[in-house]
Amino acid sequence: MEMDFKGLSRDKVLKLLKRVKREDLTYDSGKILGSMCTSPHPLAKEVFCEFIESNLGDPGLFKGTRALEKDVIRMIGELLADPNVVGHVVTGGTEANLMAMRAARNITGLAEPEIIVPRSAHFSFKKAAEILRLNLKEAALGPDYRVDVDSVVELLSSNTVAIVGIAGTTELGLVDPIPELSRLCEDEGVYLHVDAALGGFIIPFLKEAGYDLPDFDFRLDGVTSVTIDPHKMGLAPIPSGCIVFRGQEYLDSMSIETPYLTEKQQSTIVGTRSGASAAATWAIMKYMGHEGYIRVVKDSMRITQFLARELKRCGFELVTEPQLNIVAFNSPDMSPEALAYELELRGWSVSISSYPPAVRIVLMPHIKKEHVKAFMEDLTGI
């Protein structure tokens, strides 16, 4: 559609949009089974609109919002066992991982920097490697699809600027052996970044609820930085990711002078950036409290276990027992692609994992038991 010379009426614009929006899937329908995002909480949406004009790229103009961002980072730090962390509310896990790799590279200042990431790492590390000119080395996974620490040791060299561990892998939702990686990084004096984009708003609350999960955060002395995304299980609106570092020197290592702005240094990749996300994230964290998030993650795990049990009962094979809220499975007589295609014809949007190939279901809070039952009916029908 071209832009008209004379503007349309408000009603006309909204009517046109309504028609287009019908083509979008909605989380409420329960049909989105392959997404790590979900409907933001209504309070978070309200606060987001309230702060819509706030720009954290020029924080001196928005001192209130800047204070909210600092509060969010402190709350995230407390969740990750170090309230003194420094960091920012950024656009999501990709920008957070990019900032971590940039800090690791800058602080070591090596001429031919290399990073070691698990084979299961999110593709944002490939973007980081390309943009920052890092040599990316992929560590093998063990038979349990978690990173094989021996393989990390083999790849380690005098050019290594960072090792990455994942707390909640994108495809299978598994937690790497972060305590072992932390010991290794302490011994070798190497930067350890933990990508907890998914797991960061899940693992601490499941642990509080009594689940047995490994440490992945600043309790471990070797951990230097953590990515954690409120716009996944944190129920915040997109875009909201957080990057936190153990000390100010990491932010300083990548700060750029911004002479004519109200704050003279900037470490984020993005310049003009949403203050609305920081405010909405603040609001939802204060509103939910530990108790609220514990309820959300326990509910998601209950639905995850229900789906896993149903799949096994109906003869499907799970790739692994789910550790967080992702179930990956295969049918004994159909490829994941063929199955995903048949499911799509019935309105279900699932995704397919690459290693190993399987149908992958992410059980976010918009997926209720009745959706899983309806899904199982269609699946067994196929």
Residues that bind ligand 0PR in the complex, under the rule CB under 6 A: 35-37, 92-94, 97, 122, 124, 166, 170, 195, 197-198, 229, 241
Q: Rounded to the nearest 5°, which phi and psi values hold at 84?
A: -95, 10
Q: How far is the CB of 325 from ligand 0PR (least distance, A)?
A: 12
Cα 238 to Cα 320: distance, rounded to the nearest angstrom: 30
Pick between residue 93 and residue 113 the one whose CB is nearest to ligand 0PR.
93
Closest CA to 171 of 293, 319, 29: 319
Sign, CA torsion 216/218/222/228 = positive
Q: What is the rounded radius of gyration, in angstroms, for the C-alpha atoms of the chain?
A: 22
Q: How far is the CB of 265 from ligand 0PR (least distance, A)?
A: 24
Q: How far is the CB of 229 from ligand 0PR (least distance, A)?
A: 5
CA torsion, ordered 130, 132, 137, 138, to nearest 10 deg: -70
Pick between residue 35 and residue 159 the one whose CB is nearest to ligand 0PR.
35
Structure tokens at 173: 């939702």
Pick between residue 99 and residue 301 the one whose CB is nearest to ligand 0PR.
99
3-state secondary structure of 160: strand
Q: How far is the CB of 193 from ligand 0PR (least distance, A)?
A: 11
Cα 261 to Cα 257: distance, rounded to the nearest angstrom: 9
Q: How far is the CB of 38 from ligand 0PR (least distance, A)?
A: 9
Pick between residue 243 and residue 288 the one whose CB is nearest to ligand 0PR.
243
Pick between residue 36 and residue 62 the one whose CB is nearest to ligand 0PR.
36
Q: Which helix (H) or strand (E) holds 295?
A: helix 275-313
Q: How far is the CB of 333 from ligand 0PR (least distance, A)?
A: 27
- Please give the full DSSP string across 164-178, using - where no structure is assigned: EEEBS-TTT--B--H
Q: How far is the CB of 197 from ligand 0PR (least distance, A)?
A: 3
Structure tokens at 319: 């790739």
- Contact 273/34 with Cβ under 8 angstroms? no
